Amino acid sequence: MKQGLVVEDQPALTRWLGTTLEEAFPGIAVEASRTLAEARAAIETLGPEIALIDLGLPDGDGVDLIREIAARHPGCHCIVATIYADDQHLFPALRAGAGGYLLKDQPRERTIQSLRGIAAGEPPLSASIARRLLRVFGGDGSARAANHAARLTPRERETLTLLAKGFKIADVAQTLGVTHNTAHEFVKNVYRKLRIGSRAEATMEAARLGLVNPHL
């Protein structure tokens, strides 16, 4: 059975997010934490496969929890669930390892649809957040990003495409016919050359370069 974690200090929103997870993934077992301390204890015993994390918690910043989960439980999908739609909250969360960014004010059905997209390798992003990312990676930043992308080798471009489709390193290695260590180096090079820090950013970069369809 899948394990899910909701990290949210407001009871009504905790129930809303928990029910949303249950509708998106029937049969999932959902636990809730109100604080960073509770969440840190929970991840040690639960080993959740997906976590919906608020950024503004009573005892700290949800970004710190995302960073810890990404380092210690890389198989867990960390999804931000917040009211903040500004760059000051968005980009630190993505760089910490968040695999998606959802706004709490969007309709439940839209949130459920976004979460179900995880199975297809699509990062769950609220529409306004996806548009913001595309604007940031476009415009004046487009030329700079294109220059970074031009430094990618053909194998690294293939790796970027596979990452954007949700492939894990083992899947990248199998698809490209290389060792796990070589695939890991490809991923590291892609992140370094594109100056990105998460799969969500990799997906948006791949979409901007026309390597995948973002389905926005």
What domains can you pick out in the chain, each with its CATH number?
Answer: 3-135 (3.40.50.2300), 139-208 (1.10.10.10)
pLDDT-based confidence at 33, cuts 50/70/90? very high
| Adjacent-strand bridge partners of 124 | none
| Adjacent-strand bridge partners of 56 | 61
pLDDT in tens, 131-157: 777 666 555 444 455 555 567 888 998
Q: What own/partner pairs with CB < 8 Å and gap ≥ 24 does 149-155 have?
A: 149/193, 149/194, 149/205, 149/209, 151/193, 152/189, 152/190, 152/193, 152/194, 153/189, 155/186
pLDDT in tens, 163-211: 888 788 888 999 999 999 999 999 999 988 888 877 777 877 787 777 7
Question: Are β-strands 56-57 and 60-61 bridged in parallel, bridged antiparallel, or unpaired?
Answer: antiparallel
Q: Is the pLDDT score of 29 beyond 80?
A: yes
Ordered alpha helix ranges (H), 25-99: 36-46, 62-72, 87-96
